[in-house]
């Protein structure tokens, strides 16, 4: 058993003194009334003066004790002075006990038998009452009880009567019994005081721990916010040059090149594509955090989606020498096919990455009115204590060296976030060393299928535009790349780096389309630029916003403008498709982004 820490003795004594002092006030009025009653009942010609003197001294002593207790309670009793105060209390209670015992000298032998019985009964009652009020400090009660007993016993002995002598012996025995009870009462008081301080200590410790937990929670929130801000800033700064690079590569691809140059261009475009996909992954995660992913629910068949994922990822499994299988299904579900495809792609990619032998199986199982998509693998498995951790952002198993070929550690975090956006659950079962299975539950649709949305194809290089475009971007390389690409598509183009310059160029040559970066100089935005231009040239002026921001707050702000939004780095085919949609008056999802890019 672990022993509880004991309260320091001097501190314990202070609390005992305060407890005992607090008991005095309640006995003042009963003492005054009792003294006056005894004067009235016991007084006669022989003892009137002695009894009245006794009553006056007793009342004065009780008033002094009450005043002294109130004075001491109003001050802070320091542990250093507690011992001295204890000795003082013992002296005062010796006087008080002797004063009560002197009642026997004033009344016994000069009053009737009934009066003598009353005196002894009063003194016995006073001793019992003092035991309860003085018990918190046992030595103080001993001082009071011993003084009263000695004075009373001396008077009984001097009366030289066998009955009084027997009464003296009984008083000794009664006092001894009271001492035993007083000792028990003192121990109980000490335990109560110790327990009270333990509770206070526990409360204080709980308060401190709560403050520490709250501080740690605030620090974690601040760290998470700082992480999000850093990722957003880093992503934005990286997207600018990568976006410009993609534009220049597209322009370069339209020039005459040798075979070796075409090979080098293909490698450069593949590298650009890999960088863009990593940034898209960060954007997907930021969009989920921002809460701007809005599922577009529809009924669709699962098999075409499974075929598409298999066509994309089976070559990766073949390259590792493992088997990739997906079971045929005729099931249809109601959900967002693009989001379900992204979840499944992340789960399958993860399974292939962590499987070295055996294979990966994608299957569907019916459970009531639900369809469960399952991704099985025979990989390394996941320890039970890691089941929650693997869904945290940037958490990877077996990649302490942060090999970029193993991704960023966001796939499962994105998959779980998208599952929540769909209102569904993503669960995991795993056996370390034998493999894992991830399950996504979707509502099954037994009715007829809605017509599937036709695949959106990028226009051929021969198809161009006959229009004037105003580009607004504060990055010179992006402006140059956009001008060259739009010129290759048959557009004439003006480029500005600020709102005022854009207005000047537009007045000289009104644009048919405005393409603006969202974040401009001096904390201004492309939304402001488009609003200013529409105020001059009409609310129907077609416009597109392009942003490299991934901060959740920025994403929400950009989305709230209602202007179609593209995310850097923008694929040229995606830009062409967006321009076509805006110019033809077709609605374009205002959060057009990598999540949607994967629909194509």
Q: Any idea what the CATH number is for the domain that residue 525 is in? A: 3.40.50.2300
Q: How far apart are CA 475 and CA 487, in angstroms?
A: 18
| Phi/psi at 73 (5° precision) | -70, -25
- Contact call for residues 143 and 131 (beta carbons, < 8 A): no
pLDDT of residue 399: 44
The torsion of the CA quartet 313, 318, 320, 323, rounded to 10 degrees, works out to: 90
Give 284's contacts (C-beta < 8 A, 6+ positions apart). 342, 410, 414, 593, 594, 595
Same domain (yes/no): 520, 555: yes
Q: Are residues 139 and 16 in the same domain?
A: yes
Does residue 86 share a domain with residue 194?
yes
Whether residue 495 contacts residue 479, with contact meaning beta carbons closer than 8 Å, is answered with yes
Which residues touch 504 (CB under 8 Å, ≥6 apart)?
496
Q: Does residue 516 lie within any of the structural domains? A: yes
With contact defined as beta carbons under 8 Å apart, do 245 and 252 qualify? no
Is the pTM higher than 0.75? The answer reads no
Distance CA 546, CA 564 (A): 9
Same domain (yes/no): 434, 472: no
Domain end call among 186, 207, 228: 207
Residue at a domain's end among 160, 186, 207: 207
Q: Report pLDDT for 1.
A: 40
Residue 261's alpha-carbon distances to 253, 267, 270, 484, in angstroms, are 10, 10, 14, 20
pLDDT of 60 reads: 92
Structure confidence at residue 457 (pLDDT): 38
Kindly give, in sequence order, each residue whose CB lies less than 8 Å from that of residue 518, ignoring residues fewer than 6 positions away. 525, 526, 527, 545, 546, 547, 549, 554, 558, 565
**Is 519:547 a contact under the CB 8 Å cutoff?**
yes
Local structure of 419: helix, strand or coil: helix
User: Which class for 57: exposed (0-12), middle (13-18), buried (19 or more C-beta within 10 A)?
Assistant: middle
Number of domains in the chain: 3
323 and 390 share one domain: yes
Task: Enumerate residues 6+ apart whose C-beta is below 8 A from 291.
Answer: 552, 556
> Can you give the C-alpha Rg of the chain in angstroms?
46
Q: Does the residue 24 lie in any domain?
A: yes
Q: Do residues 433 and 494 both lie within one domain?
A: no
In sequence order, what are the residues at sequence separation of 6 or more whose Cβ sits closer than 8 angstroms to the Cβ of residue 148?
97, 98, 100, 101, 123, 126, 127, 175
What's the per-residue H, E or C state across 275-310?
HHHHHHHHHHHHHHHHCCCCCCCEEEEHHHHHHHHH
Residues 381 and 423 in one domain: yes
- DSSP string spanning 126-163? HHHHHHHHHTTSHHHHHHHHHHHHHHHHHHHHHT--HH
Determine, yes or no, domain membership for 256.
no
Q: Is residue 130, in this structure, part of any structural domain at all? A: yes
Residues 121 and 25 in one domain: yes
Reduced 3-state DSSP string for 509-566 = CCCCEEEEECECHHHCEHHHHHHHHHHHHCCCCCEEEEECCCCHHHHHHHHHCCCCEE
Distance CA 413, CA 432 (A): 21
Cis check for the bond before 569: say yes or no (omega within 30 of 0). Answer: yes
Same domain, 310 and 439: yes
Pairwise CA distance, residues 259 & 269, whole Å = 15
Distance of CA 580 to the CA centre of its chain: 47
Domain limits for position 485: 468-597
Is residue 293 situated within a structural domain? no
Domain final residue pick, 156, 190, 207: 207
Is residue 438 within a helix (H) or strand (E), and if so which, with residue range? Answer: strand 435-443
Q: What is the pLDDT of residue 494?
A: 92
**How many angstroms separate the CA atoms of 524 and 315, rounded?**
46
Q: Quick one: 129 and 33 in the same domain?
A: yes
Tokens of 214: 């709250």
For residue 381 the two structure tokens come to: 């498995």
Check residue 596 and give its pLDDT.
43
pLDDT at 492: 92
Measured distance CA(441)–CA(449) in Å, rounded: 19
Which secondary structure element, helix H or strand E, spans residue 216, and what is its range?
A: helix 162-253
- Is 154 a domain residue? yes
The CATH number that applies at residue 331 is 3.30.565.10
In the predicted model, residues of the chain with pLDDT beneath 70 are 1-8, 10, 224-240, 242, 270-294, 385-411, 446-463, 549-556, 558, 586-600
User: Is residue 182 assigned to a domain?
Assistant: yes
Provide the greatest CA pair distance for the chain: 144
Q: Are residues 481 and 413 in the same domain?
A: no
Shared domain check, 109 and 13: yes
> Residue 409 falls within a domain, yes or no?
yes
Residue 481 near residue 239 (C-beta atoms within 8 A): no
d(CA 300, CA 373): 14
């Amino acid at each position: 058993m672990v022993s509880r820490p004991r309260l320091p003795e001097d501190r314990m004594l202070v609390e005992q003194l305060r407890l005992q002092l607090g008991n005095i006030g309640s006995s003042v009025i009963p003492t005054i009334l009792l003294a006056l009653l005894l004067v009235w009942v016991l007084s006669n010609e022989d003892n009137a003066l002695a009894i009245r003197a006794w009553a006056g001294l007793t009342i004065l002593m009780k008033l002094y004790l009450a005043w002294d207790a109130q004075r001491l309670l109003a001050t802070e009793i320091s542990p250093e002075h507690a011992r001295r105060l204890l000795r003082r209390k013992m002296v005062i209670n010796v006087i008080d006990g002797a004063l009560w015992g002197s009642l026997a000298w004033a009344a016994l032998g000069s009053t009737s038998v009934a009066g003598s019985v009353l005196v002894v009964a009063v003194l016995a009652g006073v001793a019992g009452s003092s035991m309860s009020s003085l018990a918190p400090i046992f030595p103080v009660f001993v001082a009071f009880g011993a003084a009263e007993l000695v004075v009373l016993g001396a008077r009984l002995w001097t009366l030289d009567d066998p009955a009084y002598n027997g009464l003296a012996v009984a008083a000794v025995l009664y006092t001894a019994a009271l001492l035993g009870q007083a000792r028990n009462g003192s121990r109980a008081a000490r335990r109560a005081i110790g327990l009270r301080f333990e509770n206070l200590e526990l409360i204080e410790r709980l308060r401190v721990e709560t403050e520490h937990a709250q501080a740690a929670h605030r620090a974690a929130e601040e760290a998470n916010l700082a992480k999000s801000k850093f990722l957003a800033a880093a992503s934005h700064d990286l997207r600018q040059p990568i976006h410009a690079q993609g534009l220049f590569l597209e322009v370069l691809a339209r020039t005459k090149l040798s075979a070796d140059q075409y090979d080098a261009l293909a490698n450069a475009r593949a590298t650009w594509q890999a960088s863009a996909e990593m940034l898209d992954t960060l954007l997907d995660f930021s969009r989920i955090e921002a809460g701007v992913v809005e599922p577009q629910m529809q009924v669709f068949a699962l098999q075409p989606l499974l075929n598409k994922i298999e066509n994309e990822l089976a070559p990766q499994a073949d390259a590792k020498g493992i088997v990739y299988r997906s079971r045929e299904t005729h099931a249809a579900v109601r959900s967002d096919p693009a989001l379900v495809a992204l979840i499944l792609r992340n789960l399958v990619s993860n399974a292939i990455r962590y499987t070295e032998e055996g294979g990966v199986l994608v299957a569907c199982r019916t459970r009531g009115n639900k369809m469960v998509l399952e991704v099985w693998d025979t990989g390394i498995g996941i320890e039970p204590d890691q089941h929650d951790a693997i869904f945290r952002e940037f958490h990877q198993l077996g990649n302490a060296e942060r090999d970029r070929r193993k991704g960023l550690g966001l796939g499962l975090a994105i998959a779980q976030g998208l599952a929540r956006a769909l209102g569904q659950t993503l669960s995991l079962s795993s056996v370390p060393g034998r493999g894992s299975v991830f399950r996504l539950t979707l509502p099954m649709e037994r009715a007829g299928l809605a017509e599937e949305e036709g695949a959106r194809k990028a226009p051929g290089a021969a198809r161009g535009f006959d229009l004037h475009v105003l580009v607004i971007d504060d990055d010179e390389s992006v402006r140059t790349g956009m001008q060259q690409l739009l010129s290759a598509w048959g557009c004439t183009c003006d480029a500005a780096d600020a709102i005022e310059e854009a207005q000047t160029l537009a007045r000289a040559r009104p644009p048919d389309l405005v393409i603006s970066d969202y974040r401009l100089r001096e904390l201004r935005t492309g939304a402001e630029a488009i609003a200013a231009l529409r105020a001059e040239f009409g609310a129907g002026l077609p416009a597109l916003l392009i942003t490299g921001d991934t901060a959740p707050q920025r994403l929400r702000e950009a989305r709230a403008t209602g202007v179609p939004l593209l995310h850097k780095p923008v694929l040229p085919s995606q830009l062409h498709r967006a321009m076509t949609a805006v110019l033809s008056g077709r609605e374009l999802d205002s959060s057009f982004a990598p999540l949607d890019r994967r629909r194509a």
